Amino acid sequence: MKKIVTLALLFAGGLTSSAYAQGNLFTPADCDANGWLWFDTQAKIDKYVGEANSDKLIKMIPGAAVEVEPDIFEPVNSTASPTVYGAGTDGYLPGVDSTGATLGADAKQGAIVLAPASPYTSFNGGSILLHLPSCYHLEVFLSAETSIRPALKGGFGELGTIDCANIKSFIFLPYHGAGQCTWEVQDIENGSGFKLNQQQPVTAQILNGNQSKAEMYVHGIKVQVYGEGAGISGTASDAEGINIAQTGRFISLSREADVNVYNAAGKVVLSTRAEALDLGALGTGLYIVQARDAQAVATQKVLIP
C-alpha cells in the first residue's frame, strides 16, 4: 500500500523536470551544446546505432546487392566506427599528396559509413532509418570524396524498409561537391507534397545516392521533436545522476541499471536490467520508470503515446 501511495503522490505532484529546447531526440548529455550527436565514441554508437532489425534509434540499412560468386548476391553493409575518418573540406581523406602537402587536414573522425550506390545516380546505396515520434528539426553532417548527393525518403508512421522502397518521390540535397556539408531537410517537400516537419510519428530514411560509387560518411545528426512529451524531458535523480530520457515509446538511461516500470495503480509491469528499453508493448498511458544501481536511484514520469 505504501508503494501505491508514493506513486500516487508522484503522479499528482509531478517530478522536478524541465524540457530541453525543442525536445532533443537524443540524450542531451550525449550531444554537444548545439544538440548535435557525433559518432565519435563507441559508447554513443552502441547506444544509438544498430542493424536494420535492432531496436536502436538509428538503424543501418544495407545497400544494393552485389555478386560475390556466380549467381550469389549479397547486400553491401553500412558500418559505424568512432575511429574512421571521412573527407576534409578539400574532398580528401587524411594523408599527403605526391609533393608532401597535407590532405584532409580538417577531416572529422567517427562516422556511420553508408555503403556505395551501385550504378550512376541509382540512389540504392546504404542508408539510415529513423522512426521519429514527430519532427521539428532534422539535420545531418556529411562528407565524401566525391560529390555529396544523399536522398531522403519519408512517410507517416513507422515505415519499414520495404514500405520506403515503394516511395517514389525523393527529397534531394542540392548538388554539392566533394568535401563536407550539412543538410537540413525537415521543411523540404518531395514530389508528393510530403515534408518531414510533422507533429505526428514519421519515418526518415537517409540514403547514399552519390553520383559515383563512393562511400558517404554521416558524422553527426541533430534531431529535435515537438513537445516535452515526445522528446527528451528532464529527469529526477540524485547527485550521482542516472539520467532517464524518453523518446516516444523508447526509454534510454545514461548507464545500465536495474529498471522497474510501474503503472498508475503502482503495480510493477516491467522489471529488467538495461540501458534502453521499448515500452510500446505496455500500451498507451502514464507510467513511472525507476532506475537503480549502486551509486544512484532515479525516477521519471513518462507518458506513452
CATH class of the domain whose range is 2-18+233-304:
mainly beta
| Per-residue pLDDT tens digits for 27-76 | 888 888 888 999 999 999 999 999 988 888 999 988 765 544 555 556 78
Smallest Cα–Cα separation from 288: which of 255, 247, 238, 251? 251
Residue 4 reports pLDDT greater than 50: no
Smallest Cα–Cα separation from 38: which of 26, 54, 50? 26
Per-residue pLDDT band for 95 (boundaries 50, 70, 90) equals very high
pLDDT of residue 58: 94
Cell of 187: 521543411
Where are the domains positioned within the chain? Answer: 2-18+233-304, 28-94+102-224
Identical fold between 2-18+233-304 and 28-94+102-224 = no
| Per-residue pLDDT tens digits for 186-242 | 888 877 778 888 888 889 999 887 666 789 999 999 998 876 433 333 333 334 678
- The 10 Å CB-count burial string (b at 16+, else e) for 260-271 is ebbbeebeeebe
CATH code of the domain occupying 28-94+102-224: 2.60.120
Place of cell 510493477: 268
Distance between CA atoms of residues 75 and 133, nearest Å = 29
| More confidently predicted of 249 and 30 | 30
Q: State the pTM of this model.
A: 0.68
SS3 31: coil
